[in-house]
Amino acid sequence: MAKLPFRERLDQGTLLLDGAMGTMLHANQHLPMDSCFDLLNVTEPAAVASIHRQFIEAGAEIIETNTFGANIYKLGACDLQDRCAEINRAGVELACRVVDGMFKDSVYVAGSVGPLGVRLAPFGRTTPEEAFNAFFIQTGALIEAGADLLLFETFTDLREMAEAVKAARAINSDIPIVAQMTFNRDNRTLLGDTPAQVARSLHDLQTDVIGVNCSGGPAQLLTLVQLMHRAAPDARLSVVPNAGWPEMVGGRVMYPATPDYFGEYALAFEQAGACIVGGCCGTTPEHIHAMRRALDDPAHVTPTIVSVSEPKESAVSEVPETPTQLAQKLAAGDFTVTVEMPPPRSYTAQKVIASAELLHEAGVDFINVSDSPMARMRMSPWAVCHLVQHHVGLETVLHFPTRGRNILRVQSDLLAAHALQVRNIFVVMGDPTVIGDYPDSFDTHDIAPSGLIKLIKQNLNEGTDQAGNSIGQPTSFFVGTALNLNAREPEREIRLLKKKIDAGADFALTQPIFDITVAERFLDAYSREYGALDLPVLIGILPLYGVRHARFLHNEVPGIDIPEAIQQRISDAGDDAQREGVRIAQELLLGVKDFAQGVYIMPAFGRYDLAAGVVDVLKRVPAH
C-alpha cells in the first residue's frame, strides 16, 4: 500500500516523531557533544542507520535526518562548508534506505534543519540575505534527495525562521513544513518572544505545523503548547520536549525524565491539540516506545508522580576588593573599546543580552548602559548591567544621571548597584524630562555631577554616606565623567573638567566627534591651562546611518558638529550610506588611537552590528 501524502496523514490522527539523534550518537559512538555529527552520514552511515531503525522499531512514524547542524556556518567550523549539499543528501538517502528496507509504508522522512548558529542583524552580523542563501543550499539538498517534509527545529529567532521557510518555498512551494521554536525557562524565546507571538508569527508563515521543541521537559512544553493553541486555534501543533533539564553526572550529560513519564505526557499533548509528538534532547527509543504504547492504548498508561525540587539559592558573594576590569585596563594603558546600549522598554532583556554577546564576540571590552535616554521610560539600567555581566560575562559601565534624584535616592541607588557588582559609574546630568514621555514629572536634583563624583569618591568609597554615617564596608566605584570636546564655550568646559578631576573623576567619556582636530585642539587648550591631562579619555564615535541621520545630528543635537566633507561622503554613498558611516567611524577610531585611551561607540537605532563592524578595524592593526 502506498504511503499517504503527509498532509493527508496529518488529518488522520497524531503522528509520533522519533527521539534524539545527537544523544544516541553521543552515547553509542562516544563522541564529544561538539563533534560534527552530521558528517557521520558519510563517514559512519551504519551507525546513523542503526539509530533510525531503533526509533522506527520503537514506533516512530517520522524519522529526522541527521542534518540538524548541516548548514554552511556550522559545517564551516569544521572546514566542511563545501560539503554541505553532499552531507545533507547523504542524510536523506540514508534515512530513505532504512525506511524502504524495513517496508514501512507509513514512515515519513523529515529533513532536519536547525538554526545557523549565527545571529541575524541587528543582533548579529549575518544579513537576512546571507541567511536565506545558507538555508537555500541546505533545504535544496534535502528536497532534491527526496525528503517527505522539512522540519525546522530549535529556532530562537522568528526572523531566521522566516528566512528558512522562504528559502524552502523558493525551491519547492509545495513541500510540507513543520516549524518549531525553542524557549527558555521563563517561557520566552532567547530574543524575548512569547508563545502567543511565536504562534501567530509561525502561523502567518503558512507552514503546515507549528510548535515547540527542546526547551525544557514535558511539563513546560505542555504549558507552552496550550498558550500557542489559544493564540492560533486554527494551527496544527507539534510538541517535542527534552527529557527534562540536563544534569552533569560523572562527567556525562544526563536527562532525568523517564520513558513512562513521557508516555503519560504523550496523551496530554494529544489532548492539548498536538498532531505531532516526539522527543528531543535526551530521549531514547525507550521514550518513543512509551509514547507509542500510550497513544495506541491510553487505558494502560500509569500516571507518574514527579517531585520537583526548588533550586538552592547561591550564597551572596562578597564584593571584590580588586579594581574593576575597566580600571585595570586603563591603568595599564591598553586601548579600550566600550559601546553604549539603552535598556529595553519592557521587563524582558533577551535582545539586549543577545546584542551584548554579539559585541563581546566582536572584541568590545565593556558595555555602557544608559539611563532613560531622551527621558524615555526604560528598564532600570543597573538591572541591565547585572544581567549583561551575569549572562554575557562582559563588564558594564552604569550611566548615573543626577537629574530627577534627591540625595537619599542617589545614595540608595548607588548601594544597590554596588550590591549587584556594578562598580563602573558614569556620572552625567541626564536629559530633562520635558523632552520625554512624562514632561510634567519631577526634574530637579540635589547634587550636580561634580558633587556626585566627590560624594562617591570621598564618602562612599571611604565607607560613609553624605551625612557622615558609616555604611560599613566602603564601596569601590570607578567613576567616569562626561566631556564635550566641541563645546561652544571651551574655556568653561575646561574649567568644569578640572573641577571634576579634583573631585576624583577616574576617566572621561566624550560626546561624539567627526573631526580629530576637535579633540586635539581641546586637549592642547587644557594642557596650556593646567598641564598635560592626566585622565584617561575615551573618545565618542557615532557611526552615521544615512543622510537624514547626519543632518539631524549636525543641526539639532548640541555638541555635535559634522564637517561638510563628512556629510557629503554620506550623501555620495547613496544606498551604501551605512557602510560608509562605518568606514568613517573606523577612520576616526584609528585617528584617535595614538593619543586617546579608547573609544566610546554610540550606535544609532540599535544597530550593534554596525558597532561591531567599526571594531573590526582593530583586528587589522598591530597592537602597540
Kindly state the average pLDDT of the residues 361-365: 95
Task: State what percent of residues in the chain have pLDDT above 90.
Answer: 72
Between CA 456 and CA 427 the distance in angstroms is 10
The predicted-structure confidence for 281-302, as pLDDT tens digits, reads as follows: 989 999 999 999 999 988 766 4
> How many Å is the Cα radius of gyration of the chain?
29
**256 has a pLDDT exceeding 70:** no
Q: C-alpha grid cell for residue 461?
A: 568609597
Kindly state the average pLDDT of the residues 435-462: 78
- The per-residue pLDDT for 304 is 40
- The per-residue pLDDT for 31 is 67
Between CA 426 and CA 367 the distance in angstroms is 12
**503 has a pLDDT exceeding 80:** yes
102-106, 270-274, 340-344: segment of lowest average pLDDT: 102-106
- The per-residue pLDDT for 315 is 37
- The per-residue pLDDT for 437 is 59
**609 has a pLDDT exceeding 80:** yes
Strand, helix or coil for residue 312: coil
Kindly state the average pLDDT of the residues 451-474: 91
81-95, 140-154, 362-376, 564-578: segment of lowest average pLDDT: 362-376
- The per-residue pLDDT for 418 is 93
The CATH fold assigned to 6-300 is TIM Barrel (3.20.20)
Of residues 482 and 317, more confidence is placed in 482
> What confidence tier does 105 reach under pLDDT thresholds 50, 70, 90?
confident
- The per-residue pLDDT for 155 is 97
Helix %, strand %, coil % for the chain, to 5? 45, 15, 40
Q: C-alpha grid cell for residue 245?
A: 533539564
Mean pLDDT score of the chain:
89
- The per-residue pLDDT for 458 is 93
> What confidence tier does 322 reach under pLDDT thresholds 50, 70, 90?
confident
CA 612 to chain centre: 14
Kindly state the average pLDDT of the residues 546-572: 91
Of residues 397 and 3, more confidence is placed in 397
The predicted-structure confidence for 190-202, as pLDDT tens digits, reads as follows: 888 999 999 999 9
- The per-residue pLDDT for 32 is 64
Kindly state the average pLDDT of the residues 550-575: 91
| DSSP states of 515-572 | -HHHHHHHHHHHHHHHSS--S-EEEEE-----HHHHHHHHHHSTT----HHHHHHHHH
- Residue 517's Cβ-side half-sphere holds a number of Cα atoms within 13 Å equal to 3
Kindly state the average pLDDT of the residues 546-574: 91
Go through the chain and tell me how many residues it has: 624
Q: Identify the bridge partners of residue 16 per DSSP, sorted by sequence position.
A: 277
Of residues 246 and 25, more confidence is placed in 25
The predicted-structure confidence for 211-220, as pLDDT tens digits, reads as follows: 999 988 898 9
Kindly state the average pLDDT of the residues 356-381: 88
Kindly state the average pLDDT of the residues 519-529: 95
- The per-residue pLDDT for 284 is 94
**494 has a pLDDT exceeding 90:** yes
> What confidence tier does 429 reach under pLDDT thresholds 50, 70, 90?
confident
The predicted-structure confidence for 578-602, as pLDDT tens digits, reads as follows: 999 999 999 999 999 999 999 999 9
Query: Under a CB-based contact definition with an 8 Å cutoff, are residues 176 and 148 in contact?
Result: yes
Kindly state the average pLDDT of the residues 547-559: 88
- Structural domain spans, the chain: 6-300, 325-620
Q: Which runs of consecutive H residues, i.e. helices, occur in 30-120? A: 40-43, 45-58, 72-76, 84-101
**488 has a pLDDT exceeding 80:** yes
The CATH fold assigned to 325-620 is TIM Barrel (3.20.20)
User: Which residue type sits at 271?
Assistant: Q
> What confidence tier does 444 reach under pLDDT thresholds 50, 70, 90?
low
Kindly state the average pLDDT of the residues 26-36: 71
Task: State what percent of residues in the chain have pLDDT above 70.
Answer: 89
| DSSP states of 230-256 | HH-TTS-EEEEE-SSS-EEETTEEE--
What phi and psi, each to the nearest 5 degrees, are found at residue 214?
Answer: 60, -115
Place of cell 538555508: 135
**432 has a pLDDT exceeding 80:** no
CA 160 to chain centre: 13
Kindly state the average pLDDT of the residues 449-471: 91
Q: Residue 248: left if φ>0, alpha if ψ -120 to 50, beta else—which one?
A: beta
- The per-residue pLDDT for 253 is 52
482 to each of 65, 374, 501, 530, 611, how far by Cα in Å?
56, 16, 11, 18, 21
> What confidence tier does 530 reach under pLDDT thresholds 50, 70, 90?
very high
Of 282, 260, 268, which is closest to residue 237 (Cα–Cα)?
268
Please indicate whether the domains covering 6-300 and 325-620 agree at the CATH topology level. yes
Place of cell 537619599: 408
The predicted-structure confidence for 303-315, as pLDDT tens digits, reads as follows: 443 333 333 333 3
- The per-residue pLDDT for 301 is 62
> What confidence tier does 395 reach under pLDDT thresholds 50, 70, 90?
very high
